[in-house]
Chain A
Amino acid sequence: MTEEIIIAGFGGQGVLSMGKILAYSGVMQNKEVSWMPSYGPEMRGGTANVTVIISDERISSPSLNTFDSAIILNQQSMDKFEKTVKPGGLLIYDPNGITRHPVRKDINIYSIEAADEASKLGLSKVFNMIVLGGFLKLKPLVASEFLHKGLLKSLPARHHALIPENEKAVEIGKNLLKPVQVL
């Protein structure tokens, strides 16, 4: 099993940390993982993306052009990454702020209204974990006990009190997915 994932959005949306938590959970489940961020001034422009690969085998290229799954959180990222999903692959996006919705018919598309739900519940800080929950529902790459261990490892100790909130957000995300039909 190898899953090649791109997560992309604005800098403040917790894109990199979502990837890190996913990757660290993979490590705890003794998978091979790689996490390759965009870095530098590219990020000053406001967009951030990270390629996460989780595999049972040694990972070859950490840098990719096509992906099994794309998690997309803003318009620029939609424009850039919709076309990079492999046929039959998965695209999850938060429609908040999206003006041009995905159009591909050869991939599976789901929307997740995580930003709305997060602000409704006062959980804006863990918005990214709601999205991650949706993704893990469709691609159960890591079991919840390992996700817990991943959170323990990737969050600094002073934030460990927030782990239950993060896990709650993941559970919320699992029930927010809506399949999107492209007509």
Chain B
Amino acid sequence: MGELRLMKGNEAVAEAAIRAGCDGYFGYPITPQSEVMEYLMAEKPFERTGMVVLQAESEVASINMLYGAAGTGKKVMTSSSSPGISLMQEGISYMAGSELPAVIVNVVRGGPGLGTIQPSQADYFQAVKGGGHGDYKLIVLAPASVQEMCDHVKLGFDLAFKYRNPVMILSDGAVGQMMEKVELFDQIARRTDAEVISQCPWAATGKPKDREHIIITSLDLDPAGQERVNLKLQAKYKKIQENEILFEEIQCEDAEYLYVAFGLSARICQKATDLARAKGIRVGLFRPITLFPFPAPQIASVGNRVKGILVVEMNAGQMIEDVKLSVGCNVKIEHYGRFGGIIPSPEEVVRALEQKIIGG
């Protein structure tokens, strides 16, 4: 068993980055995720593993630092919250276009604009549908616990390097700020420069005499060439869709009704499921863990068995579009959302099921 600690989600992200053998972290303070960099600075990973930690002058700078470092094959991470992630979009698009691996953590807060610092899930579209320009996809992980905040950093780096694609961990202010028991994985050694060079032959690590020079770019002025780039990306996304789906089903076997929710909302729905079952309502919970790739076939197989589905999100109805695309039209699908930093209570989620699905 690994080391047990009580940690905030943000701290778990930071500790997991060190243990995952991350080479560099670049960030800019923003609530509710500032603890990531604060933890790293206090922990001195530069002494523990040689990991670099740098406070950048802005999120524009952080993401471009990430772009540069990732282009040299290094394992790098940034974290921010909604307004900062919005600023990063151009850089994220460049990284997706140049097929660079990196982990980007978004501890979402309520928007739009400066919004609020309280938790929200209103950045689903931005994360899953491509917040920047061009046809690209991020692999998007949705942790619902502090344990997953930790584990998804490791998983995120694995997927990022497996597919040479940026990975976004889409969390929220509550999961970032709350403390839970975490079992930490053991330290993974940072790769040596020689290992980086041999494991990442695509990376700009310095040209030896006997190989072609490497160019990290997303530019191809020839439309035919750029179309080939796009086709290659789409083929990669298809492969990710086929192989990397993660989800969880809770009390779905005998369910007549279904909650679909990710992240914090799923935790609330899990409680709501218990409360509803105590009232005799047979409801289950489907929790997508990967938001891209979206578990469409898996939702369909549960969803098409039930009488109705309530999608619960801390937004005005974003993931519900993907649920609707997954499940046949003859199942009733409704949305229940709270916005602007309000966390719905388990009781109100039960009421919403009764009113919108069972009664309605």
Contact = CB atoms under 8 A, between A and B. Distances in A.
A adjacent to B, CB under 8 Å: yes
Interface of A: 20, 23-24, 26-27, 30-37, 39-41, 59-66, 153-154
Nearest to B348: A65
B178 A61 contact: no
Contacts of A61: 267-268, 270-272, 346
Contacts of B181: 26-27, 31-33
B4 A27 contact: yes
Given A40-B32, A40-B118, A64-B346, A35 B180 contact: yes
A39 B177 contact: yes
A154 B5 CA distance: 10
Contacts of A30: 4
A77 B113 CA distance: 31
Given A37-B178, A40-B118, A64 B6 contact: no
A36 B178 contact: yes
B117 A34 contact: no
A27 B6 contact: yes
Contacts of A24: 6
Interface string B327-360: 0000000000000000101111000000000000
A23 B6 contact: yes
Contacts of B177: 36-37, 39
A60 B271 contact: yes
B179 interface: yes
Contacts of B31: 39-40
B267 A62 contact: yes
Interface residues of B, number: 27
A34 B264 contact: no
B6 A33 contact: yes
Contacts of A62: 174, 178, 180, 264, 267
Contacts of B4: 27, 30
Interface of B: 4-6, 31-32, 117-118, 173-174, 177-181, 264, 267-268, 270-274, 343, 345-348
A34 B180 CA distance: 4
B268 A63 contact: yes
Nearest to A36: B178
A66 B347 contact: yes
A60 B267 contact: yes
A59 B271 CA distance: 9
Contacts of B346: 60-61, 64-65
A61 B175 CA distance: 11
Contacts of A23: 6, 179
B117 A63 contact: no
B214 to A, nearest CB: 45
B173 A27 contact: no
B345 A34 contact: no
A94 to B, nearest CB: 24
25 contacts: A20-B179, A23-B179, A24-B6, A27-B4, A27-B5, A27-B181, A30-B4, A31-B181, A32-B181, A34-B179, A35-B6, A36-B179, A37-B177, A39-B31, A59-B267, A61-B268, A61-B270, A62-B174, A63-B264, A63-B267, A63-B345, A64-B346, A65-B345, A65-B346, A65-B347
Nearest to B179: A35
A23 B180 CA distance: 8
B321 to A, nearest CB: 25
Nearest to A4: B271
Nearest to A37: B177
A98 to B, nearest CB: 26
Given A40-B32, A59-B180, 13 more contacts: A20-B179, A23-B6, A23-B179, A26-B181, A27-B6, A33-B181, A34-B180, A36-B179, A37-B178, A40-B117, A61-B346, A62-B180, A64-B345
A169 to B, nearest CB: 21
